[in-house]
Amino acid sequence: MRIRSNRLPAFLGAVVLAAGLLGVFPGRADAQALEVFTLRYRTVQEMVPVIQPILVPGGTVSGLKGQLVVRTTPANMDEVRRILAKLDTRPRRLLITVRQDGHAYSHERSAIVTARAGSGGSRTAGTPGADMREPDVRVTARVLDSSAADSDRNVHTVQVMEGSPAYIRVGQDVPVPPRRFMPAYPGGPLVDDAYAGIEYREVSSGFYALPRVTGDRVVLEISPHREALSGQVRGGVNVQYAATTVEGRLGDWIEVAGSSNAAMGSRTVILGATSATGADTRRVLVKVEELR
């Protein structure tokens, strides 16, 4: 039996059309391939956001249980392989050091003038027959200077794998006297008074950090905090906190935050004057080193 020649082109056209719709016809430039990559050191959650932007339109990436499933063109798949070969490597061990410095300084100067009357060296006043004595007045001036300085430094270190978050917190429970206000006398004004019993409050310092390293540079998300008992308010706690992202070279100190407060005042009273100056400086620095 012979096949009529006028039916053969239609048959071949149907085969070509079906192959093109299935994406397997070798002449199609947008034909896609499917490949499964088993991750060795990175997680699916880390790599999917990295691979997604480099895919051509129509390409897809998904992951499950340590494997990436990528569907894209052959040329784009080669690029995906290069990226994974570069990034899916053993994470580096890092040592993060956070240093929190504080320095407070105050100076007060008082000038006091005193006058004292005495009998020694007195002289007789001037009318005949009178025996009136003028007092001997002695004036004394004194200048009193007082200065105080207080410095402290907290240093915390923690080891972490590149790309993984780290958190450290160190503190202690400090006894704090409770406060209540009582009348100084029945019906009188309220005054601050301590009563029996002790409360405890946690005073801590530390930081949270997430490092990402590229070559010899690091991008670090960091949130350091520091608490210290107040020397001016009973039961009060001074709090220092910062949250930021910094970038620098491995092994270098990077300044995360800093603050500086200065104060100056003067007061004049009868026969005297007082002036005072003060400054309070705080700095937070961080250093990331690679451990080999």
Same domain assignment for residues 152 and 265:
yes
Same domain assignment for residues 79 and 151:
no
Q: Is residue 17 part of a domain?
A: no
- Residue 220 CA to residue 234 CA, distance in Å, equals 37
Same domain assignment for residues 104 and 243:
yes
Radius of gyration of the chain, Cα coordinates, nearest whole angstrom: 40
Q: Is residue 133 part of a domain?
A: no
Q: Is residue 101 part of a domain?
A: yes
Same domain assignment for residues 285 and 210:
yes
Q: Is residue 23 part of a domain?
A: no
Same domain assignment for residues 76 and 101:
no
Same domain assignment for residues 176 and 242:
yes
Per-residue pLDDT of the chain (292 residues; tens, 9 = 90+): 444 444 444 444 444 444 444 444 444 546 889 999 999 988 898 899 999 999 999 999 999 889 999 999 999 999 999 999 988 888 889 999 998 887 767 777 776 666 666 555 545 545 555 555 555 666 666 767 777 776 777 888 999 988 889 988 887 777 766 666 666 667 777 766 555 566 777 788 888 999 988 889 999 999 988 877 766 566 667 777 888 999 999 999 999 887 766 666 666 656 567 777 777 787 889 999 999 8
The structural domain count of the chain equals: 2
What's the pLDDT score for residue 251?
A: 94
Same domain assignment for residues 154 and 272:
yes
Same domain assignment for residues 182 and 46:
no
Q: Is residue 241 part of a domain?
A: yes
What's the pLDDT score for residue 25?
A: 44
Q: Is residue 19 part of a domain?
A: no
The range of the structural domain enclosing residue 149 comes to 94-109+145-291
Q: Is 197 left (phi over 0), alpha (psi -120 to 50) or beta?
A: left
Q: Is residue 42 part of a domain?
A: yes
Same domain assignment for residues 163 and 64:
no
Those residues whose C-beta lies under 8 Å from the C-beta of residue 41, and which sit 6 or more positions away, are 88, 89, 90, 91
Beta 166-176 vs 180-183: how paired, if at all? Answer: unpaired
What's the pLDDT score for residue 197?
A: 60
Q: Is residue 178 part of a domain?
A: yes
Same domain assignment for residues 185 and 251:
yes
- Residue 148 CA to residue 266 CA, distance in Å, equals 18
What's the pLDDT score for residue 171?
A: 74
- Give the max Cα distance, the chain: 172
Using the Cα atoms of residue 38, residue 43, residue 44 and residue 48 in order, give the sign of their dihedral: negative
Using the Cα atoms of residue 239, residue 261, residue 248 and residue 253 in order, give the sign of their dihedral: negative
Same domain assignment for residues 164 and 86:
no
Residue 51: CATH number of its domain: 3.30.1370.120
Same domain assignment for residues 285 and 160:
yes
